[in-house]
Amino acid sequence: MDVAWETSNVDGDLLKETDEFDTFSDHSDEDNQDSFPVSLDIILPDDLLERILSFLPVASIFQASSVCWRWYEIVSSKRFQRNLSHVLPQKPWYFMFTSSHEPCGYAYDPILKKWYGIDLPCIETPNWFVASSSGLVSFMDNDSRSRLYVCNPITKRWRKLEESPGLKFSDYSAFAISVDRLSSYYKLSVVKSKQVPENFIQWEISIHLYDSKSMVWTTLPTEVLAGWRGGEESVICGRVLYFLIYATVIGGGRHLDTRHGLIMCDLSAHSSHRPLLRSFISMPCPLTCGRLMNLKDKLVMVGGIGKQDKPDIIKGIGIWVLHGKEWQEIAKMPQKVFQGFGEIDDVFASSGYDDLIFIQSYGGPALLVFDMSQKQWRWSQKSPVTKRFPLQLFSGFCFEPRLEIEP
């Protein structure tokens, strides 16, 4: 069923939104035409009005700034933006790229159920590495993997970071960022994986950490893994870095469940580093792919469930949360919903924040949202992105829209 969709322009200029608003008197009772309605805007003092506006969704704050000059001044003030850090987190938006070559696209707001046109700063092509946390989005180029940026996609403020140390060129890289909501300082990690020359089994793994407070990179001791390589999936939850590793040798007694594995690295104890495989965690079932995300400081994984006899072929999608070293199943996608994607590849895009998880097939623009708190699946409003040719690929990422945080 086709669903109407809307697009609006959202960027750092608080006057971009020009939607018209009905006045209070427009909704007054027709039977009270002799009465004289009083605008609440006149009665409320600035601090109380500022408090009320701070609880609006970000898109509504942009619209509110166009109501009148007073509201614009409040929303634009430094005090208002500082106070935003004390309200509850915003529900995440999902940015969907509209091109395989240009970093343009639309962001979906699941609260107002609207799509907004957004121009991302810094990123040059959609195949760059992307990670997000608490309002900040980080980008790393996919060629030399030496250009790193951190930005606020709503305000367009950004910062370029120094190149990460270690291997100049790696076969695989995993990228993650974690923002401290109280201090706004952030940590960034890059896990690099490179095959040992003339050796098809051994892979060199190096972990590099950036601290925005000290603005310094540190590197953990490099390890060589036999039969395992790193990939492109990682996430930071609290003081722990998680990243997926992939088996390079199948057979020889290795069970199909161990085609993928999870490594847990305690960042607070990296001075007393222990071998990575000592923190190995098995997968809950044979997976075609795994997507890691931080939801309220808990590690959540969305995975493609492989067939028992053909683990490379996807038969469904599951969601798990990690407790210690044990996976707890949260939900399995109903088959009717799974079939709603049409033909879905064995790998797909998925990211999440707070209570929401977004799932998107690389083969189409349909976007599915899973609410962790309500255990509910629902499709987004119809995307403004259209498929123009058969081999067109679609991808995206989610982020929390925030006005006050700066990189």
pLDDT digit string (tens) for the chain, length 407 residues: 333 333 333 343 433 333 333 332 333 344 444 555 556 667 778 888 888 887 888 888 877 887 888 888 888 887 887 777 676 678 999 999 988 788 889 999 999 899 999 899 999 999 999 999 999 999 999 888 889 999 999 989 999 999 888 777 789 999 999 999 888 899 999 999 999 988 888 999 999 999 999 999 999 989 999 999 999 999 999 999 999 999 987 655 455 557 899 999 998 865 556 789 899 999 999 999 999 999 999 999 999 998 877 878 899 999 999 999 999 999 999 999 998 887 777 899 999 999 999 999 988 889 999 999 999 999 999 888 888 887 788 899 999 998 888 89
pTM: 0.84
How far is residue 188's CA from residue 218's CA, in Å, rounded to a whole number?
Answer: 11
pLDDT at site 37: 57
Least Cα distance to 278 among 201, 225, 202, 208 occurs for 225
Residues 6 or more apart in contact with residue 276 via CB below 8 angstroms: 205, 223, 225, 263, 265
Q: What whole-number distance in Å separates Cα of residue 221 and Cα of residue 153?
A: 34
Burial of 133 (0-12, 13-18, 19+ CB in 10 A): buried
Type of residue at 334: P
**Cβ atoms within 10 Å of 185's Cβ, excluding its own:** 12
pLDDT of residue 323: 96
